[in-house]
Structure 1
Amino acid sequence: MKKTFRLSLLLALLVGLLSLSVTASAATRALGGFFKQVHQKCETGRDVRGEHELLLSKWAGLAVNAEIRRDYPQLAKAIEKINQREWRRIQQVQEKLKGEAIAFRKNDLKYYHPLSYEFDVQMRRADTVAVSFLQQEYTGSSGVHGMYAWEGVNLDPLTGAKIPLSAVVKDKEALVKTICKQLRQDYPHSSFDGLEAKLQQEAASDTLNWTLDPRGITFYFNPYEIASYAEGLLMATILFREQPELFNIAYQQTAAAYAQPFSAYYPLTASLKDNGKRDVIEVVQMDGAVRVRLNGQDTVIAANLTDLEPVLIHMEDGRNYLYIDGNGKDSVRQTLVVQLGAKSARYINTLPYSFRHTIAVAPAVQEYWHFLTNPNGFYIDRKGAFTSTTKTDICAVGEKGELTFG
């Protein structure tokens, strides 16, 4: 009798846990309504040699639409506070660079060139569990080379509070070992002297640099942090399904359909079937073509596009696509639709649409970028010439990866 009771109790607990997991997964849904506003500025100076450019600046601030402000007011306030803080800091950086440019021109006219500063943002995950994005900064000064850095920001959508790594990861010591293993696997020619000790210290002080992805967590290591400048920015992605025991189950819950923007300069590590198997996706601009590499297999698309902005799209029924927004002839942007199969990619179509939205206002064009994070509802623009006002449509990804409207 006691054995039967215990067995029944155990079965009831297992069913309850399974039900809780399924309910949590079903409740997680992708969020849309994020965009960035881009500002550009040219600072000039004048000396005995005439007028000249001092500093070329381009910076972007993350913004949310009316639906996000209504449904997630604390998230909207948190993003606005981040923007205000970064704006104040950027003003100080610009003033410092202007002074450096004036001194550079005065002391070394032969090699003088205007300095540059760029600050950008890129979404990584946006759903009812977490909103993660990257802040990307580049400074081109009078030195031998420019300097850049990425910083991850992870927010709770309900409270707007920053998500600490300790809330996501159960065992930091085991996590560091996993990161070190992945870095050595992905960058076999790097020595990484003293890597474990450095990362253990950063993990203990909660200063590791990371974002949550739909299928895992990615850690970022800027130039000089763990390797030389020549090795560039290094990343290590750990998939939830690879070591689920490391992570709090709440953050492993992924929306059934999601979209993840990523950089064309770096590969994206994902799991297209969410089975723990790694899929590495690269999008590369070529001369007169775009190359999509999926797990080492190349697909070359005859499309003369530059300034590529790719997005991985995963649909509820398991289909996977890339939308690759690029700058085409006469600066008219368009979007390639590519299906990701089990072993290779397949080009489907080119859409006369872009996530770049412009408003022609004198003296400069106002520029915005919609972020595709929810494939079941997003904004995209039908493009005209560079300076023309664009028409915005609300769309979803249809059966063959193309757009459905309304």
Structure 2
Amino acid sequence: MNKVKMITVALAAALSLAVPFDSGIVKMDLARPAFAGSKITAGQNIAQHSLPLLMTVRSYSDWEGPHEMLRAYWTDIHFYGKAKEADRNIAKALAEYSRKEQDAFGKSRKELFAGAREEWRQRMRGSDSVSPYYGPFWFTGDILVRRADGKAVSFLEDNGEYAGGFHGISHLAGKNFDARTGKELRLSDVFANRFAMAEALKKKLKADYPEASFMENGGAGLDDIIDKLVKEDSLAWTLEPEGVTFWFNPYLLGGTYAEDTFVTTFCFNKEPELFKTNMDTGTPVWQGSKGYCMDLRSYTPLRLSGNSGNDKLCVAHENNRIRIEYKGQEYSNELTAVSIRPTLVVCSDGRRYLYVDYEQPASKFSAANYRLYVYDLNSKTPGLIGDYPMMRLASSLKDTGKRSWYVMSDPGDFYTTATADSNIAPGKRLRCRVGKDGRPEVYDVEGAKG
């Protein structure tokens, strides 16, 4: 593979830019690739280098004659390319994790298919014991990467299941690994005292959700549940560059279905006394680099500072619009899309952006396609920066049964793929970084000569 030598020219100035009237969207022409200057990593050091990871979503549809019984998919996570010596332990741990997930998915798929087939047969017999609603059973298994650097890899398992009845159920679980040893982390590896953490967690949830149903009787029921979860070491949590987020599945805290998921975050710089610290520096052992990227769960608010109140970010896609709530302010724009994949981008100098991959549905005039929206989070109100002909999808759009995605973990170095409307042959891998204005800057194109 030939590499393009980087030259000291900003991509935004070098590319041909055209602004469609009335859209406010900048379109990128990558026909004449000039590239940004020397790569600047985002606040990294040797111990906290980003890891090149890839996620692969594998989808299945199971039928009984002409009737669809089950739709299901699961996601694995692995290294992109050969792992370096320092990363071999975590590469091995992720490979083993994916192998176990594949086995578990295979078992669940068989059980769900059998259940769907039995419900269908009962419905054909006119049984009153089955739900009046009919639709295929389903299972969804997503991974949201919250951190991937030389210290730790952390991701949220976001699973959903429908096995009859009026609605499906969701289940969240966190997976956290020491990137140096490959060992799966426990709360006791991160927090100085888990019982002190439990008391702080109770207070935090009550402050974050003062109107929640678990606040009945002053939250006494919540206290008992947290004590039990801590004792069992069964809390769902993710280790992030700026702290630890706890995730509570629907009903777990005694809530209603409408309340959905409760989420709260402890930040290293806000509650340092809760965390294990480095004896030499006094800083939390697991604190990450200042520059990072983190996958977001749609419809679920992320508290950016750990404070209760409006300091949160929430992304949703509904009614052909993408909606962003940020620090109490809202922004939306029209977006007809099949799906979105939002990622928070934090640069080492504190700038924040939102990167959103979205899938354009096929029409009689064009095939399905992915593109990238970039939003500015540095003003009082979120705003659209541009719409770009690139995506983090690493596999062919035609292969709907198996789709691989580049994990974006470092603002200074990440991969995308040129899309069909980019003037670069579709499928070309682009190596990028976040520019000063938030736009993706390309500094290497797969196979280009220069």
Structure-2 separation of matches of 1:275 and 1:111: 42
1:182-220, CA deviations, whole angstroms, 9 ceiling, x for partnerless residues? 222222232325222221232233222111112111111
Does the residue aligned with 2:121 lie in a helix, a strand or coil?
Answer: helix
2:263 corresponding residue in structure 1: 235
- Post-superposition shift, 1:389? 5.9
Structure-2 separation of matches of 1:395 and 1:194: 49
Does the residue aligned with 2:438 lie in a helix, a strand or coil?
Answer: coil
2:52 corresponding residue in structure 1: 33
One-letter code aligned to 1:135: E
1:260 corresponding residue in structure 2: 294
> Residues 29-68 of structure 1 correspond to what in structure 2 (within 5 A)?
29-46=48-65, 51-68=66-83
Q: Is the 8 A contact 1:32 1:372 kept in 2?
A: no
One-letter code aligned to 2:353: Y
1:108-160, CA deviations, whole angstroms, 9 ceiling, x for partnerless residues? 14744221111111101112221101112111111222111011000000110
Gaps of 5+ in 2: 1-42, 125-131, 215-219, 278-283, 363-367, 445-450
One-letter code aligned to 2:170: Y
2:224 corresponding residue in structure 1: 197
Aligned match of 1:382 in 412, 415, 418?
418
Does the residue aligned with 2:176 lie in a helix, a strand or coil?
Answer: strand
Q: Is the 8 A contact 2:58 2:402 kept in 1?
A: yes
Distance 1:349 1:140, change over 3 A: same
1:82 corresponding residue in structure 2: 97
Q: Is the 8 A contact 2:133 2:166 kept in 1?
A: no
Aligned match of 2:407 in 371, 389, 399?
371
- Would you say 1:296 and 2:328 are equivalent positions? yes
- Number of positions where the alignment pairs a residue of Structure 1 with one of Structure 2: 374
One-letter code aligned to 2:62: E
Q: Is the 8 A contact 1:337 1:350 kept in 2?
A: yes
Moved more, 395-404 or 179-188: 179-188
- The Cα RMSD (Å) is 2.5
1:199-245, CA deviations, whole angstroms, 9 ceiling, x for partnerless residues? 12322332221111121111111122112351222111112222111
Distance 1:334 1:365, change over 3 A: same
One-letter code aligned to 1:396: R
- Post-superposition shift, 1:277? 9.9
- Would you say 1:129 and 2:166 are equivalent positions? no
- Would you say 1:163 and 2:185 are equivalent positions? yes
- Would you say 1:396 and 2:438 are equivalent positions? no
Does the residue aligned with 1:375 lie in a helix, a strand or coil?
Answer: coil
Q: Is the 8 A contact 1:136 1:149 kept in 2?
A: yes
Structure-2 separation of matches of 1:97 and 1:39: 17
> Residues 96-111 of structure 1 correspond to what in structure 2 (within 5 A)?
96-109=111-124, 111=133
> Residues 220-231 of structure 1 correspond to what in structure 2 (within 5 A)?
220-230=247-257, 231=259
Greater strand proportion: 1
- Would you say 1:338 and 2:375 are equivalent positions? yes
Structure-2 separation of matches of 1:117 and 1:73: 32
Distance 1:228 1:332, change over 3 A: same
Does the residue aligned with 2:238 lie in a helix, a strand or coil?
Answer: strand
Gaps of 5+ in 1: 1-23
Moved more, 106-115 or 177-186: 106-115
Structure-2 separation of matches of 1:402 and 1:263: 22
Structure-2 separation of matches of 1:229 and 1:103: 29
One-letter code aligned to 1:339: D
Distance 1:381 1:225, change over 3 A: same
Structure-1 separation of matches of 2:382 and 2:180: 37
TM-score when normalising by structure 2: 0.77
Structure-2 separation of matches of 1:335 and 1:106: 45
2:389 corresponding residue in structure 1: 352
- Post-superposition shift, 1:302? 4.0
One-letter code aligned to 2:69: L
One-letter code aligned to 1:235: V
Distance 1:43 1:287, change over 3 A: closer
1:72 corresponding residue in structure 2: 87
2:37 corresponding residue in structure 1: none
Relative contact order higher in (CA < 8 Å, ≥ 6 apart)? 2
Structure-1 separation of matches of 2:403 and 2:434: 24
Does the residue aligned with 1:107 lie in a helix, a strand or coil?
Answer: helix
1:339-370, CA deviations, whole angstroms, 9 ceiling, x for partnerless residues? 112532222111111112332677x5531111
Does the residue aligned with 2:210 lie in a helix, a strand or coil?
Answer: coil
- Post-superposition shift, 1:278? 7.6
- Would you say 1:310 and 2:338 are equivalent positions? no
- Post-superposition shift, 1:28? 4.8
One-letter code aligned to 1:128: G
Aligned match of 1:327 in 338, 359, 363?
359
Greater helix proportion: 1
Distance 1:281 1:275, change over 3 A: closer
Structure-1 separation of matches of 2:397 and 2:73: 18
